[in-house]
Amino acid sequence: MSDDPPTETGWFDGVESGDVDVGVEAVRSGASGQVREWPAVAVDAGFAADESAYYEQLHEITVTAAREAVRRREGADDQQLIHGIRTLDDCLRLANELTERVAEWAGSRDPDAAVDTAYIERLADREPSDPIEERLVSLAERIRGLQSEAAAVRAFVEQSAHAVAPNLTAMAGPELAARLIALAGGLEELAKKPAGTVQVLGAEDALFAHLRGGAPSPKHGVIYTHEYVRGTAPANRGSAARALSGKLAIAARIDHYSGEYRPEIEAELDDRIERIRARGEV
C-alpha cells in the first residue's frame, strides 16, 4: 500500500474492467514512479476497448473514489469531534476522582499512599494479599486503563480537529478548537456566532451574573487556556482575548464555508498580539 516503492504500472493494472470497488482502491492507494500514456497502455492491455471507454471507466472510478473519501471524512465531522472532546474530559475527570478515592482508602492502611499517578501505577502492579487490597489493586488497574483510553481519545481529537477545522485548529490548538465547537454545538453554529460570543463561550455563569447586574463582564471564557490570553499581562488580557476571539471567529467561518487553510489570518493575529503585549513596555 502506501509504503510500497512506487511501481510503474497504471491504476488499472490487475483491475478487472468494470470492477469499480477494486478500481477505487487502486486509484486511492496506488502510486507510480513514472508517467505514461495510460489510456493507450490500458487499451493495449485489453482493459478497455478504446480510449473513450477507458475515460468512461476512469470517470466513474475517480468520482466514486473522491465521493467515498469525502464521506469517510464525514465520519470525522464536528459532531464526532464533540463526542471526542467530551469523552476525553470524562475519562480524565473519572480517573482523577477515582485516584482520590483510592488514595484515601489506601491511606487508611498504607502510609505511602499518595494522590498521584506514580502511586496508582505501583499499586496496580502489586499482588493483592487480602480482600481489601484486591479491591484497591483492581481499582488502580481501572484508573490506568482510563488514562490510556484518555490518551487514545486525545489522539483522535487532535487528528479529527485538523480535518474538521484546519484554520481554527492551527490557531487554537486541537483541544481548544474542539472545546469551542462543542460549546457552540457544532462548527456551523460556531461559524455563525459573533466574535464577542466566542470570547465568552464557557463563561456563561459569569456572563449571566453580569447581565443580571452587579458583576463585571467576563473578559474571556474557555479561550483563557490559549497562550495568547494566559501569557498576556492581566491589564491587557481583555484586549488579547478580544483580538484572539475575533480571529478565531473568522477561522471558524473559513473552515465552515470554504475549508481551505489560510495561514495569513494566523499571522495577522500574531502581529496584533505582539502590539498588545508591547503596550506599557518601554
Partner 1 sequence: MTLPTGVTRREVDGDQGLATRGEPVYGEPTEDGWRRWDRSRSKLAVLLGRGVDTGLTADSTVLYLGAASGTTVSHVADVAGPTYAVEFAPRPMRDLVDVATARPNLFPLLKDARAPERYAHVVEPVDLIVQDVAIRGQGEVAVANRQFLREDGRLVAAIKARSEDVTRDPSAVFEDVLDTIGEAYEIRHRERLEPFHEDHLGVVAEPK
Footprint on this chain of partner 1 (rule: CB under 8 A): 6-7, 9-11, 26-28, 30-39, 55-56, 58-59, 62-63, 65-67, 69-70, 73, 163, 166, 255, 258-264, 267-268
Q: Which is nearer to partner 1, 34 or 129 (CB)?
A: 34
Q: How far is CA 196 from the centre of its chain?
A: 24
Q: How far is CA 133 from the centre of its chain?
A: 39
d(CA 55, CA 142): 56
Q: Which is nearer to partner 1, 85 or 165 (CB)?
A: 165
d(CA 23, CA 21): 5
Q: Which is nearer to partner 1, 39 or 202 (CB)?
A: 39
Buried/exposed 19-35: b ≥16 CB within 10 Å, e otherwise:
eeeebbbbbbebeeeee
Q: Dig out the grid coordinates for 129 from the structure.
A: 494479599
Q: Is 250 within 8 Å of 265 (Cβ atoms)? A: yes
Please state the closest distance from residue 67 (CB atom) to partner 1, in A.
5
Please state the closest distance from residue 10 (CB atom) to partner 1, in A.
6
Q: Is 7 within 8 Å of 32 (Cβ atoms)? A: yes
Q: How far is CA 84 from the centre of its chain?
A: 8
Q: Which is nearer to partner 1, 32 or 96 (CB)?
A: 32
Q: Which is nearer to partner 1, 6 or 145 (CB)?
A: 6
Please state the closest distance from residue 229 (CB atom) to partner 1, in A.
23
Please state the closest distance from residue 175 (CB atom) to partner 1, in A.
21
Please state the closest distance from residue 186 (CB atom) to partner 1, in A.
15
Residue with cell 465552515: 256
Q: Which is nearer to partner 1, 66 or 151 (CB)?
A: 66
Please state the closest distance from residue 84 (CB atom) to partner 1, in A.
18
Q: Which is nearer to partner 1, 27 or 48 (CB)?
A: 27
Q: Dig out the grid coordinates for 125 from the structure.
A: 502492579
d(CA 238, CA 229): 8
Question: Radius of gyration (Cα) for the chain, nearest Å?
Answer: 27
- DSSP for residue 258: T
Please state the closest distance from residue 97 (CB atom) to partner 1, in A.
38
